[in-house]
Chain A
Amino acid sequence: MSTESLALALLIAPLVGSFLALVFFRRKHVIASGIVVASGLVSVIASAMLLFGAGHDVGAITARWFSIGDTPIEFGILLDGRTMIMGAVVALITLCIEVYSLSYMKHDEGRGRFFAFLALFAWSMLSFVYSSSLLQAFIFWELVGLASFFLIGFWYEKPSAVAAAKKAFIMTRIGDVGLFIGLILLFMTTGTLDIPAINTLFAGDGLPEGIAPGRIELIAALLFIGVIGKSAQFPLHTWLPDAMEGPTPVSALLHSATMVAAGVFLVTRFHGLFMNAQQTMEWMLWIAVGTAILSSTMAMVAKDMKRVLAFSSISQLGFMLMGLAAGSLFAGYFHLITHAFFKALLFLCAGAFIHHVGSNDLIAMGRAGAAKQMKLTTVALVIGGSALAGIPFLAGFFSKEQIIGSLPIGAKIGALFAAFLTAYYTFRMIFLIVRPNADSMAVEDEPAHAQHEDGHEHHGPAEPLAMLAPIILLAVGAAGAGYIGNWIGHKLHIEHIEHPSITEMAPAIVIAILGVVFAWLEFGRKGARQTGFVSKIPSMQTLFERRWYLDEIYNVVFVRPVVWFASLCIGAENKGFDNGADAVAHGTYKGGRMVARSHSGRLQFYIGSAIVVVAALALTLGFRNGGGAG
């Protein structure tokens, strides 16, 4: 098959799958899910054939789609290392999650719709990744947001799910406004939105002629605002923890290869441009470091397994952006890929436990003996968790080392601190599940019960094959993805990858092991109290649990003023415009009535008025004439 037809097949399959499932087979669940899984398979095969078969950059396949003023805008499929690797990863992880959902969502009444939206999600994300124009990328960026809106709010009868979906959409849209303005400015500055053209323009050292440094800083900063929203960085990160209101497979997809990955991918896509905006990169670096630490503190005290993972996503996205901001395209991109594997894996494990135990609560999972009943899943959890914690020699270790190795010293200290916290909270999570003990002082928030997220009673095997197979596949990825670094670098055309020496790696290794040991002492060892050191300082515990009160602060600072202003507007509308218009109308009416009254038919009144008017006229004219004569 030709490259073009492969690329088209890979993008169109999920769209067709989604359309058929949504419009025709919404109630025929088996057909709907079958179509979607098949379309996912097509994407995986086609993207893999492109990645391994093409072997070299094909460039872009484009067609004129639109024009702005007199400038034609071409849309197309861009095939270079960056898109083909990411595309294959997205397709693979999506397929894993679709297969997993076959079993996970088996009893849900809306699963036809669920699969349709999964395919829509996959289509949007794949199309975003392969976009050859920034405008096209923006379109699919928005559609990724839309698909996640539908999926987060999938159980739409739950008010909390609807609220979470709304929050996700609006918070990311705040970022999108920045991205949108940045896109327009970029177009005005360079006259093109073509990604290869822009990359060529900014490939060399120094700025292209005729472009002011301030302008590039501004554009980069605006694009970065979009990234902050999408990739859930401080201060727009608050939507992501709530987004776990969706079914767990959705979280797995949303946190790994789609949605949040889009933001980081955009930075890798325009890394050349960003590298010309040093000021913005400085900001990016520190926002990323801050976000990584901030979200880690929240993860340390969360009891909901999905929440712990959500906070860890925020922090890992921070790590990716740190690498990119420090100038290493490879480090950021590499971590994006490895993270996709182990985070999807962790969420699928979480889903399996939740499915089995009927509670999101880590402590409840441990006490229910989930680890003993689900041995394979537990092994996978430990692999995924170790990869997240940066334990040698799993996937996350290699990519995180690359990032830390690329950082300047100040940021490096922050990153190491975040890495320590990561190891600590990850193994806290693992030990709480794997090593429950009788001396534990931990309090569970939500007891185990035989009910599933969607409320149905759970029966059947703890580890059905459809759920286990994707978990095993992803576990292999989480264990092994670290060894393909050189190949990725080659595909990205990075000539020389600097592998940190063992002395440079030592601090991060020590830090990670320290974190694990610390977690062991508090949660893992026999007779551990399982409460954590944070609980010794109640105010800090509350601060972390309430997520630094950011939601409350936003509520006071932004939401309430907006609502207040809306009320003001509505007051102006009703009292001002409406009543004003009514008053004018009534006034006219009354005026008319008054004038009408003067038409009384009484001759005396008419004559009297006539005399008054004539006299007034005569006097005025007389004065005028008199003045003229005198």
Chain B
Amino acid sequence: MGDFPILTATLLCPALALLVTLLIPGRNGMAIKAANALCALLSVIFAAMIWVAYDRTVGGYQMLEVVPWVPTFGIDYRVAVDGVSVVLTMLTALVFFTGVLTMWTLETRVKEYFAFMAALVFGVFGVFFSLDIFAFFFFYEVAVLPMYPLIAVWGSTRKTYSAMKLTLYLMLGSALLFPGLIALFVYSGGQTWNLVEIAQSGAFSRETQIFLYPFLYVGFGILAGMFPFHGWSPTGHVAAPTAVSMLHAGVLMKLGAFGIFRIGMTVLPEGAEFWAPTFAVLATIGIVYGAFVAMRQTDFKYVIGFSSVSHMGIVLLGLNVWAMSRSDTAGLDGAVFQMFAHGIMTALFFSAVGFIYDQTHDRDIRHFGGLTSQVPVASSMFIVAALCGMGVPGFASFWAELLVFIAAIETFPVLGIAAIAGLIFTAAYVLRVLGKAMYGPRNPDWENLKDVTLWSVLPRAILVGVLLLFGFYPNLILDMIRSAGGGS
């Protein structure tokens, strides 16, 4: 690949999408969509190239590019990837692409919508690539901020309330992060924001680490749907339009978990270890609690929203297990695998629900029945996502959960068993939705629903294919993640 700055090129895909979107007149919606789809496709191609180009035998950070940004404060544009970010870059590109295709039927304010979405993706890529803590935080805020207008303008169900709630929660997270990150800069000598140098500076005593770590964990954790600060997430999912829900649950929540891993656990390993039991308990509570709340929800999207809380709990549990005993990488492998699997799965979930909602403007589970016979293909997409959510083998999340549970049982036996027992309740809430809406007597109101067309099935089929691919042959992704295991 030579010196081609592939990471910058990937980062520029959504930036280009944003620019083109702003240049095309708003009335020309089709052109905007096509331009976005092309840019998104390009980012998928670049992500695949990164995947191939990354040398797994060497591991560590690769494809480094450095450009000074604000030299006075030691801020650089410093991007590189390790196995974890390669995987998450692929996830983002896939969800971006399928998200654009899913919103093909959008009619209102097309231009603004796609502009915000491209900005969001731009930020996400930036976070996954940045090795400079300041740039990391900058991109992080770029990714988070478009959520407010995206929900408040294009959303449904109490959209202003949800948008405000989400923003306030995330601002709370940022309020914790900002001093935490500045403290990292100051304690390490105030010369550089370079993550690797700060991590190796040895400037943080055990006490300092223990003091600083919760700022970072909770600050990022809020975005990862960490119990008990998860309240924004289901509400936000419900209110957001389909593609935003996809990006939001599929990618954005991963930023939080990624931040914990990339900055918190890398720079403050002793702090992470000290707090791991506490946060592992919270994560396990999140797993079980999310499942129980999902069991009684009546809105499709609320069920998925709380399932996200539950599934992200598995990610956080895996990360904390790894922080506790780093010699065993199974926890980290599982956590990152779960980020990927959950991202694809939730995107599919929201995409499938969005398809039904677009036609019915109804999301109440009780108002549906026998959808399998009314829209067989569309409901089979939902069923696939549901099976993946239950951790059925053959789908990607099975392996992810397996790894996390194995690691958890070794490190925190009680939590591990509780988390595994949570599978029963997961099955209960997933089957409840399937039984009520997908199966059962059909509701005559929806006899005339149209099933997916070849074009609208494409994004969903891609997601299903990815889930099955990694579900059948997990080593494809596991090798990639594992090469990062020693990244810290």
Size category of the B interface is 35 or more
> CA separation between A69 and B482, bound complex, in Å?
9
- A163 CB contacts on chain B under 8 angstroms: 435
Asked if B442 is at the interface (CB within 8 A of a chain A CB), the reply is: yes
A139 touches B398 (CB 8 A): yes
The reply to whether A184 and B406 contact each other, CB–CB distance below 8 Å, is yes
In angstroms, Cα B436 to Cα A165, docked, is 13
A157-B440, A570-B296, A581-B165 known; A169 vs B431 contact (CB < 8 Å): yes
Residues in A whose Cβ lies below 8 Å from that of B417: 181
B residues in contact (CB < 8 Å) with A: 164-165, 168-169, 228, 230-232, 235, 289, 292-293, 295-297, 328-330, 333, 370, 372-373, 376, 387, 392-394, 398-399, 402-403, 405-407, 409-410, 416-417, 420-421, 423-425, 427-428, 431-432, 435, 438-442, 473-475, 478, 482
A residues within 8 A CB of B289? 569
Interface residues of A in 562-600 (CB under 8 A from B): 562-563, 565-567, 569-570, 573, 577-578, 581-582, 585
Q: Does A177 sit at the interface, judged by CB under 8 A? A: yes
Query: Which residue of the partner chain, among A70, A156, A569, contacts B292 with CB atoms under 8 Å?
Result: A569
Complex: A590 Cα to B452 Cα, angstroms: 49
Question: Told that A188-B410, A577-B231 touch, could you supply 20 new A-B pairs with CB distance under 8 A?
Answer: A26-B376, A65-B473, A69-B328, A135-B402, A142-B393, A142-B398, A156-B440, A162-B435, A166-B432, A170-B427, A170-B431, A173-B423, A173-B427, A176-B423, A181-B420, A184-B405, A566-B292, A573-B231, A577-B230, A581-B232
Q: Please give the distance in Å from B377's CB to the nearest CB on chain A.
A: 10
Interface residues as binary, A454-477 with B (CB distance below 8 Å gives 1, 0 otherwise): 000000000000000000000000
Is the Cβ of A156 less than 8 Å from the Cβ of B295?
Answer: no
Most chain A CB atoms below 10 A, which of B372, B417, B424: B424
Interface residue? A143 (CB, 8 A): yes
| Given known contacts A170-B428, A562-B428, A569-B292, A157 and B421 CB-to-CB distance under 8 angstroms | no
Q: Within residues 169 to 186 of chain A, which ones have a CB less than 8 A from any CB in chain B?
A: 169-170, 173-174, 176-177, 180-181, 184-185
Residues of A within 8 A of B (CB): 26, 64-70, 135, 138-140, 142-143, 146, 153, 156-157, 159, 162-163, 165-166, 169-170, 173-174, 176-177, 180-181, 184-185, 187-188, 562-563, 565-567, 569-570, 573, 577-578, 581-582, 585
List chain B residues, Cβ under 8 A from A562: 292, 295, 425, 428
B405 & A180 in contact (Cβ 8 Å cutoff) = yes
Once the chains bind, are B439 and A153 in contact (CB under 8 Å)?
A: yes
Name the B residues within 8 Å of A64 (CB-CB).
475
Selected A-B contacts with CB under 8 Å, 26 pairs: A26-B376, A66-B399, A67-B478, A68-B330, A68-B403, A69-B329, A139-B394, A142-B398, A146-B392, A156-B439, A157-B370, A157-B441, A162-B440, A166-B432, A166-B435, A177-B421, A184-B405, A184-B409, A184-B416, A562-B292, A562-B425, A566-B296, A578-B235, A581-B165, A581-B231, A585-B164
* Chain B residues, CB < 8 A from A563: 295-296
Q: B409 touching A188 by the CB < 8 A rule?
A: yes
Given A68-B330, A69-B328, A566-B292, verify A177-B420 contact (CB < 8 Å). yes
Given contacts A177-B421, A180-B420, A581-B165, contact A566 B394 (CB under 8 A): no
Q: Return B4 CB to nearest CB of chain A, in Å.
A: 32
Say whether, besides A163-B435, A173-B427, A569-B293, A157 and B168 are in contact (CB < 8 Å).
Answer: no
> Smallest Cβ distance from A377 to chain B, in angstroms?
33
B392 and A142 form a contact (CB under 8 A): yes
A143–B398 CA distance with the chains assembled, in angstroms? 12
Which single residue of chain A is at the shortest CB-CB distance from B398? A139
Instruction: Check A169 against B169 for contact (C-beta < 8 Å).
Output: no
CB pair A570 B231 closer than 8 Å: no
Cα of A479 to Cα of B149 in the assembled complex, Å: 74
Partner of B394, one of A143, A184, A578: A143
> Majority SS of interface residues in chain A?
helix
The residue in B165, B292, B441 that gathers the most chain A C-beta atoms within 10 A of its C-beta is B292
User: Which chain A residues border B387 with CB–CB below 8 Å?
Assistant: 146
In the bound complex, what is the Cα–Cα distance between A188 and B408 (angstroms)? 12
Contact call A157/B475, Cβ cutoff below 8 A: no
> Which 3 A/B pairs are nearest by Cβ-Cβ distance?
A156-B439, A139-B393, A569-B292
- Contact between chains at B293 and A570 (CB < 8 Å): yes
The answer to whether A66 and B392 touch across the interface, beta carbons within 8 angstroms, is: no
A163 to chain B: closest CB distance in Å? 7
Q: How far is the CA of A156 from the CA of B440 in the complex (A)?
A: 5
Chain A: CB-nearest residue to B330: A69
Query: How many whole Å from A329's CB to the nearest CB in chain B?
Result: 28
Complexed CA–CA distance, A153 and B407 (Å): 35
Question: With a CB–CB cut-off of 8 A, which chain B residues contact A69?
Answer: 328-330, 333, 407
* A157-B442 in contact (CB<8A): yes
B292 touches A177 (CB 8 A): no
In whole angstroms, what is the CA distance A570 to B234 when docked? Answer: 12
**Cα-based distance from A159 to B432 in the complex (angstroms):** 12
Residue of A nearest to B406 (CB): A184
B293 touching A573, Cβ below 8 Å: yes
Q: Nearest residue in B to A140 (C-beta to C-beta)?
A: B393
Most buried by B among A66, A169, A188, A569: A569
- Bound CA span A362–B410, Å: 54
Q: Is the CB of A66 within 8 A of B478?
A: yes
Q: How far is the CA of A176 from the CA of B422 in the complex (A)?
A: 12
Q: How far is the CA of A403 from the CA of B373 in the complex (A)?
A: 47
Q: Which of B165, B392, B393, B402 has the most CB of A within 10 A?
A: B393
Task: Look across to chain A and name the residue whose beta carbon is closest to the beta carbon of B334.
Answer: A68
Query: Are A65 and B424 in contact (CB-based, < 8 A)?
Result: no
Q: Are B440 and A159 in contact, with the CB atoms below 8 A?
A: yes
Check B441–A67 contact: CB distance below 8 A.
no
Q: How far is the CA of A563 from the CA of B387 in the complex (A)?
A: 22
Q: Which residue of B lies closest to A578 (CB)?
A: B231
Of all chain A residues, the one with the shortest Cβ separation from B234 is A573
A339 to chain B, nearest CB (A): 27
- On whether the beta carbons of B293 and A566 are closer than 8 Å, the reply is yes
Return the contact of B406 from the options A68, A70, A156 (Cβ within 8 A). A68
Separation of A165 and B383 alpha carbons in the complex (Å): 15
Closest approach, in angstroms, between the C-beta of B311 and any C-beta of chain A? 16
